[in-house]
Amino acid sequence: MMIKAIDKILNRITMYRLVVYELAFLLLVAFIMGFFGVFPVNPIFLVFSVAFIFSVSWIVNKIFARMFEVPSNPESTWITALILALIISPPTLWIDMQYLPLAFWASAVAIASKYILAIRKKHVFNPVAFGVAATSVVLGLSASWWIGTLPMVPFVLIGGLLIVRKIRRFDLWFAFIGVFTVGIAFYYFGRGLDVVRSLSQALLYAPTFFFATVMLTEPMTTPPSKLLRVLYGALVGLLFLPNVNIGSFYFTPELALLVGNVFSYLVSPKYKLNLKLKRVVRLSRDVYEFAFASDRPVSFRPGQYMEWTLAHSHPDSRSVRRFFTLASSPTERELSIGVKFYEPGSTFKKAMLAMSTGKSIVASEIAGDFTLPKNKNKKLVFIAGGIGVTPFRSMIQYLLHNREARPITLLYFNKTPNDAVYSDIFERAKKELGIKTVYSYSDDGVHLSPEALSALFAQTVKREVPDFLERKFYISGPQAMVTSYKAILRGIGVKRSKIKTDYFPGFV
């Protein structure tokens, strides 16, 4: 019950806003501990440090956003400034000549790197890591990573794991922690030293958990698929080890991350697109399709998603960024998304609905493993709830274009027949490819308990897909529905390995 309650709260907060809250909370905890003498940080100088780094970051971001004529993303600037304030020790004097040049140049370089070190408008390196590393090389001044101390560990770990859970990146987190832990144990055990003590020092008296939950998981510089994320986490975990060196050269946390960023860039799609709105089509009472023109071809796999940024005035807590699955097929010239509008609507979606033809939106970070299997003979069941049908529209349109018949059954759940969208595509697929679509509606005037709804879903699967135990299931829709249907499928004998669920950061 507690996990469900946590997920319900997390689903109402975008990933970026959650990171802002977590970082601000850590600074607040450090301030309180410093005030009561529990933590060796002067609370007044901590406030000064946050204000100084924020000011430099904000001014530099404004300058470069205007120079490069791109929308300014305030949350990205906040996150960069907050992380820097947590890893650069506050000054001990008002005029601290160790602190001031380090904080100034690390902040300025971190923000500037987002614009200057960008290929096709996509920044390559984690900004904080690059800013700190560059300042260390040029000025010989290094970040202390003061957040990595024992009193802060519970707060870092709990808040950090909420971020990891929100963005479903436990694969990356476990790969990093696993390689790092094994590396520490192997090194010290081989030298006859106390492994338990060494591990506690490495995990509890170092910035390991902060690094792994906040910096390593930054979406813009991590790979798009699970396997690549595991390799990325393992590589950074290896370089993060204190004993890894090349001759007399030893890796710092920021250098370990920068090397990982290079790997991520080499294996990831290089897209950050400035798209122009071509048209908006109302598909149902509260679902609209937005079609955009791109100035260059875009390569992706049917079922993948992108991050969409729409700058607008006075954004609410759900910010200026969203993740939407591409409803279009890679074979179509336009990029399109299906968007469901709720009341009360977010400022993002209100701004989106108010867009006129020709207006721009930024799309980046093609990612996701919710894609068709390579085996064309694999029997599949697509289960869609409401607007969760968009990845299936992309997949089926792709199959239609290539005249590729596959053994697929689509179970499409909505409240009423008027809520179903893309029916024309699915009917065409039925005639040309033999893909079966079954529509199910819940709003028939009869109130059913959760148990009855579960039984009804199980009956539908068994009735419409008699060979369901031989098939692989794809589930896409609201997170509560995905979780519920996955549990029901497990209850009727479907193996966990045969269930694939759609998820991307910031579902709302």
Beta bridge partners of 305: 325, 367
Cα 423 to chain centroid distance, Å, stands at: 30
Measured between alpha carbons, how far is 464 from 467 in angstroms, rounded to an integer?
A: 9
- pLDDT tens, 422-476? 999 999 999 999 999 999 988 655 566 677 778 889 999 999 999 999 999 999 9
Measured between alpha carbons, how far is 251 from 246 in angstroms, rounded to an integer?
A: 9
Phi, psi of 241 (to 5 degrees): -60, 135
Q: Is-cis flag, bond preceding 71, omega within 30?
A: no
Confirm whether pTM is higher than 0.95.
no
Look up residue 183 and give its two tokens.
Answer: 């590396």
Q: Of 401, 309, 241, 244, which Cα lies nearest the Cα of 76?
A: 309
CA Rg value for the chain: 25
Q: Of 8, 12, 2, which Cα lies nearest the Cα of 506?
A: 12
Q: Helix 479-491 vs helix 450-464: angle between axes, to the nearest 10 degrees?
A: 60
The one-character DSSP state at 112 is H
Look up residue 452 and give its two tokens.
Answer: 């009855």
CB 127 within 8 A of CB 110: yes
CB 99 within 8 A of CB 143: no
- pLDDT tens, 195-218? 899 899 999 988 999 999 999 998
Long-range CB pairs of 189-193 (<8 Å, 24+ gap) are none
pLDDT in tens, the chain (508 residues): 666 666 666 666 778 889 999 999 999 999 999 999 988 899 999 999 999 999 999 999 999 988 887 766 788 899 999 999 999 999 999 999 999 999 999 999 999 998 888 776 667 899 999 999 999 999 999 999 999 999 999 999 999 999 998 888 999 999 999 999 999 999 888 888 888 998 999 999 889 999 999 999 988 888 888 899 999 999 999 999 988 878 778 889 999 999 999 999 998 876 778 899 999 999 999 999 999 998 788 889 999 999 898 988 888 767 788 889 999 999 999 999 999 998 877 889 999 999 999 999 989 888 888 999 999 999 999 999 999 999 999 999 999 999 999 999 999 999 899 999 999 999 999 999 999 999 998 865 556 667 777 888 999 999 999 999 999 999 999 888 898 999 999 999 999 999 999 865 443 3
Is residue 398 left, alpha or beta, with left meaning phi > 0 and alpha meaning psi from -120 to 50?
Answer: alpha
Per-residue confidence (pLDDT) for residue 508, from 0 to 100: 37
Q: Of 177, 198, 171, 178, which Cα lies nearest the Cα of 187?
A: 198
Which residues touch 466 (CB under 8 Å, ≥6 apart)? none
Per-residue confidence (pLDDT) for residue 72, from 0 to 100: 67
CB 147 within 8 A of CB 26: yes
Per-residue confidence (pLDDT) for residue 343, from 0 to 100: 81
Look up residue 478 and give its two tokens.
Answer: 């609201």
Beta bridge partners of 410: 382, 437
Q: CB burial class (10 A; 0-12, 13-18, 19+) of residue 35? A: middle
Give 282's Cβ-side CA count (13 Å radius): 6
Look up residue 239 and give its two tokens.
Answer: 């370089």
Phi, psi of 274 (to 5 degrees): -100, 100
